[in-house]
């Protein structure tokens, strides 16, 4: 069965997901949603004669199996709710939701619609190089600490400097450095080490109150994990995981192009393999497998959903620690 795919969002990330979905052979694009018909038609034309909808309810009623959501963060909650109520599976870009209150409502809806599967698109933890990294971490005698870095100059930062208030740098849209980029290292940390004992966030705020960059510290029983991320500069600092004397070196915790293990005795081993041209390929295939094999892969799905909820909880605590407030928090 080929899954009928609909999308929300007309930027490069949606295009990349559609290309990955088609490359798996598991999906076919059958609907595009856009608030503006013209921009939707321009986007959809890349993929042939694909119907374009300007009303979400109409698209959800068009026979979709799966909806991919890459709208501004603040819109995710209502769009996911609508999809669940229509019994359509969801793949939602991170950050999926703004706080645990929203997450609790979504979980209740999923319980009421047990055939629906919802995934948060944390692509990097599904890639082979992350799994090789996780295997090596499990083999290490001791973890002494870790530093994960993901700092990239936003394509919209020039607009902010010019006096505009773009969505990706605007608290009203539940955006900012932590919600948009910090979630990559946060997902990696929680997947590798579990929930921290405590968490602290030292945010550098923009003049609109959004966090433009920051450093988060996750405290575990015997070590700390430092997360460094931002949208107003480019960092070329590598990430690393410290053992007793051994170290794992990572070129980028989000991209994972090169991962090496240094045993501390003069030997270094390459853990990574060449990455796929499209980094969303592995997650798209996994999500399709879970949808098509709901019983066989039930534990895999439950694990992913639990991790997504944990990330949401820690993300919210970090924002609260730094005084970064979203409208829905009230």
What values do phi and psi take at 32, rounded to 5? -125, 135
Q: Which residues pair with 55 in a beta bridge?
A: none
Residue 212's pLDDT is 97
Please state the rounded mean pLDDT for residues 48-54: 96
Confidence of residue 6 (pLDDT cuts 50, 70, 90): very high
Residue 71's pLDDT is 96
* pLDDT tens digit sequence for 194-218: 999 999 999 999 999 999 999 999 9
The proportion of the chain whose per-residue pLDDT surpasses 70, expressed as a percent, equals: 100
* Whole-number average pLDDT of the chain: 97
Confidence of residue 185 (pLDDT cuts 50, 70, 90): very high
* pLDDT tens digit sequence for 280-317: 999 999 999 999 999 999 999 999 999 999 999 999 99
Contact 239, 194 (CB under 8 A): no
Residue 19's pLDDT is 98
Measured CA to CA, the distance from residue 280 to residue 21 in angstroms comes to 8
Residue 330's pLDDT is 78
H/E segment holding residue 262: strand 259-262
* pLDDT tens digit sequence for 61-113: 999 999 999 999 999 999 999 999 999 999 999 999 999 999 999 999 999 99
Dmax (CA) for the chain in angstroms is 62
**Which pTM value belongs to this model?**
0.96
What values do phi and psi take at 121, rounded to 5? -85, 70
Which single residue is written with the structure tokens 């019994």? 87
Measured CA to CA, the distance from residue 228 to residue 82 in angstroms comes to 35
**CA neighbor of 215 nearest in space, from 279, 150, 165:** 150
For 260-268, the CB contacts below 8 A with 24+ separation are: 261/136
Question: 166 in helix, strand or coil?
Answer: coil
Q: What separation in angstroms does the CA of 229 have from each of 113, 119, 179, 321?
A: 37, 24, 10, 16
């Amino acid at each position: 069965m080929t899954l009928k795919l609909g999308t929300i969002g007309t930027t490069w990330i949606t295009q990349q997901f559609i290309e990955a979905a088609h490359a798996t052979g598991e999906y076919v694009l059958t609907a595009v949603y856009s608030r503006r018909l013209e921009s939707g038609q321009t986007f959809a034309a890349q993929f042939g004669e694909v119907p374009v909808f300007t009303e979400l309810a109409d698209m959800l009623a068009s026979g979709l199996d799966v909806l991919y959501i890459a709208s501004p963060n603040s819109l995710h909650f209502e769009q996911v709710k609508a999809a669940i109520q229509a019994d359509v599976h969801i793949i939602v870009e991170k950050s999926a939701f703004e706080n645990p209150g929203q997450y609790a409502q979504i979980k209740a809806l999923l319980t009421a619609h047990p055939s629906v599967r919802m995934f948060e698109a944390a692509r990097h933890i599904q890639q082979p190089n992350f799994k090789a990294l996780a295997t090596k971490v499990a083999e290490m005698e001791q973890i002494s600490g870790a530093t994960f870095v993901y700092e990239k100059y936003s394509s919209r930062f020039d607009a902010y400097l010019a006096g505009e208030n773009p969505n990706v740098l605007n608290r009203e849209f539940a955006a900012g450095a932590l919600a948009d980029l910090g979630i990559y290292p946060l997902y990696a940390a929680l997947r590798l080490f579990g929930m921290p004992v405590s968490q602290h966030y030292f945010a550098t705020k923009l003049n609109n109150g959004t966090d433009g960059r920051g450093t988060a510290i996750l405290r575990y029983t015997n070590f700390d994990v430092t997360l460094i991320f931002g949208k107003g500069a480019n960092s070329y600092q590598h990430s690393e995981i410290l053992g007793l004397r051994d170290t794992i070196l990572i070129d980028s915790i989000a991209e994972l192009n090169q991962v090496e293990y240094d045993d501390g005795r003069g030997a270094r081993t390459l853990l990574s393999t060449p990455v796929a041209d499209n980094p969303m390929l592995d997650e798209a295939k996994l999500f399709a497998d879970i949808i098509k094999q709901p019983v066989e892969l039930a534990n895999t799905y439950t694990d992913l959903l639990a991790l997504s909820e944990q990330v949401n909880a820690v993300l919210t605590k970090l924002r609260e620690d730094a005084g970064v407030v979203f409208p829905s928090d009230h």
